[in-house]
Amino acid sequence: MQQLTPQDTAFLSIETPELPTHIGGLVFLRPEAGSGFGFAAFAEFVRERLGAVDRFSWQLQEVPFGLDRPYWVTRENFDPADHIHEIRLPAPYSHESLSKLVGRIFERPMDRSRPLWDMTLIGGLPGGRYAVLWRTHHCMMDGASGASLTEQLFDITPDAKREIAPKLSEDATAGERLSTSKIYGRAMMNASVLPQKQSKYLGQIANSLLTKDKKETKDKAGSSTSESDSNVLAPKSRLNGVVGPHRGFAWSSVSLDDVKRIKNTLGVTINDVVLAITGGAVRDYLEARGGLPSKSLIASVPVSMRAKGDTAIGNQIRELPIYWGTDCEDPIERLTAIHNHASEAKRKAHEGDAFDLIGMVSEALLPGALNLLMRGAAKAGDHMPLPANAVVSNVPMAPMPLYCAGALIEQVIPLSLLAPTQGLNITVLSYCGELHFGLVHDPALVPEAWDLAGLIGKNLQKLQGALDREFEDSISA
């Protein structure tokens, strides 16, 4: 019998009707003419591939009143095709009409009485193309394990025939439903260790506060790095407030080679460049609307804590608050400051020095108590301390073209969840020589998100231009 891990349970416990906690992706497909691609063929393909993976047949057995972590149980008479839907966009097609449809589907909470995933095949795209919207609850996987699961559906050739592994990890097992007496007995045993875990995190909080008190005031160049320390709260901005139930979705793409050239020139990471160009985009977006805070915004960056080669199901992440550089006009200075702080934040996380908020709420609180806390935080708005202004995450995928049900995958745009008081999530996925940026947002807090999406590519160009000018100046000198 597989009980959810504390971190997987946290993604269930923090869910509210306004803040669903599933993730997903929008996959653009281009079938070959005359291939017979359609809903029936796609549903049969998914049935064949995912029917061989036990994980997709699991559903939850929740513990009454949130007194303990739920269990995974196997759904009887499971058919993956029951989780696949079909919609056709009316003509004429536009990215905006597709994004509105995706937003309406994505904002709906998932049905916890069923396995927590679904797909929608969307027709009506130009040239006979299709899009597939895939939703999976975050309690099932994080970005890294999600990428391994997509390997079940993606092939390197259009006619690939391969053996499908029935399990993705040895510990991924489910069973029959537990009796009420067993559930309550296990809940009492698990509750008995809570005081010890609570003491551990209270000690970390005390140490964190002492560290904050000892910090010295630095000049602006120094504060750009220090302001992003995990002990410093983010400034209020137009991106933040009470998050409502509706979701908008926009996307953009940039060349991965262009990002790599900048990375190699300055000796930084791809994620540093991603933060720099999204930070610049957010700066321009807020400045144009008269709402740019003088202090830099903070990006919450999920960092995988997995060992190399670990593809086990479930979540193994830490959220690190990183300086976003929105107070810095010069793109090279912004990137350098982001790199310096991100390196220090990651070092602390891997050495255990950084405060682990996800660990605290998932291990030290009962699921029911965490849900009540989250509902209060979601309604608090401006009265709630703000640890970060938005989430920015980066997930790698394949560098070569892939196929799904025989159709070429042209783009994969990621979608993710919104946190309380944070009206924007930017998730980035690398595929086939491009970085694809998916912007999930609350339309009331982040209107005109397509403008923000367009500013990402423009800020990459600004960064490239600044590097070119710096190189020319060094040559002329």
CA proximity to 46, closest of 37, 33, 34, 58: 37
Per mean pLDDT, which of 15-24, 165-174, 309-318 is the most reliable? Answer: 15-24
Torsional sign, CA 47, 50, 54, 59: negative
Q: pLDDT at residue 93 above 90?
A: yes
Query: Average pLDDT for residues 300-317, to the nearest whole number?
Result: 66
Radius of gyration for the chain, computed over Cα atoms and rounded to the nearest angstrom: 23
Q: pLDDT at residue 308 above 70?
A: no
Query: Average pLDDT for residues 295-319, to the nearest whole number?
Result: 74
| CB of 295 closer than 8 Å to CB of 283 | no
Q: pLDDT at residue 449 above 70?
A: yes
Residue-level pLDDT at 177: 83
Residues whose CB is less than 8 angstroms from the CB of residue 193 and which lie 6 or more positions away in sequence, other chains included? none
Residue 442: CA count within 13 A, CB half-sphere: 21
Residue-level pLDDT at 477: 62
Q: What is the C-alpha separation between 144 and 248, in angstroms, rounded?
A: 24
**DSSP-derived 3-state class of residue 134:** strand
Query: Average pLDDT for residues 370-395, to the nearest whole number?
Result: 84
| CB of 334 closer than 8 Å to CB of 328 | yes
Residues whose CB is less than 8 angstroms from the CB of residue 130 and which lie 6 or more positions away in sequence, other chains included? 28, 29, 31, 37, 42, 121, 122, 123, 407
Q: What is the C-alpha separation between 186 and 2, in angstroms, rounded?
A: 13
Higher pLDDT, 187 or 445: 445
26-30, 163-167, 451-455: least confidently modelled range = 163-167
Q: pLDDT at residue 428 above 80?
A: yes
Encoded tokens for 319: 């959220």
Residue with tokens 């009331």, as numbered in its chain? 444
Q: What is the C-alpha separation between 28 and 408, in angstroms, rounded?
A: 8
Residue-level pLDDT at 266: 96
CA proximity to 365, closest of 376, 375, 373: 373
Share above pLDDT 90 across residues of the chain, in percent, rounded to a whole number = 58
The residue type of 158 is P
Q: What is the C-alpha separation between 373 and 67, in angstroms, rounded?
A: 15
Per mean pLDDT, which of 92-101, 142-151, 161-170 is the most reliable? Answer: 92-101
Long-range contacts, 256-265 (Cβ 8 Å, 24+): 256/430, 256/433, 256/434, 256/435, 257/433, 258/460, 258/464, 259/435, 259/460, 261/464, 262/335, 262/463, 262/464, 262/467, 265/467
Q: In terms of pTM, does the model score above 0.85?
A: yes
pLDDT digits (tens, 9 = 90+) for 291-302: 999 999 999 998
77-81, 157-161, 307-311: least confidently modelled range = 307-311
| CB of 235 closer than 8 Å to CB of 297 | yes
Q: pLDDT at residue 200 above 70?
A: no
Higher pLDDT, 444 or 219: 444
Residue-level pLDDT at 206: 53
Q: What is the dihedral of CA 243, 247, 250, 251, to 10 degrees?
A: 90
Q: pLDDT at residue 360 above 90?
A: no
Q: pLDDT at residue 145 above 60?
A: no
**DSSP-derived 3-state class of residue 143:** helix
Q: pLDDT at residue 400 above 70?
A: yes
Residue-level pLDDT at 225: 42
Sheet holding 434-441, edge to edge: 248-255, 434-441, 424-431, 390-396, 298-304, 317-323
Q: pLDDT at residue 227 above 50?
A: no
Q: pLDDT at residue 221 above 60?
A: no
| CB of 141 closer than 8 Å to CB of 314 | yes
Q: pLDDT at residue 220 above 50?
A: no
Encoded tokens for 75: 């759904």
Phi, psi of 24 (to 5 degrees): 180, -160
Residue-level pLDDT at 230: 40
| CB of 22 closer than 8 Å to CB of 110 | yes
DSSP string across 34-90? TS--SHHHHHHHHHHHHTT-GGGGEEEEPPGGG-S--EEEEPTT--GGGGEEEEEPP
- Residues taking part in catalysis: 138
113-117, 344-348, 401-405: least confidently modelled range = 344-348
Encoded tokens for 119: 């797909």
Under DSSP, the state recorded for 422 is: B
Residue-level pLDDT at 314: 58
For residue 97, the tally of other CB atoms under 10 A from its CB is 14
Residue-level pLDDT at 355: 56
The residue type of 403 is Y
| CB of 312 closer than 8 Å to CB of 171 | yes
Residue-level pLDDT at 333: 97
91-105, 187-201, 411-425: least confidently modelled range = 187-201
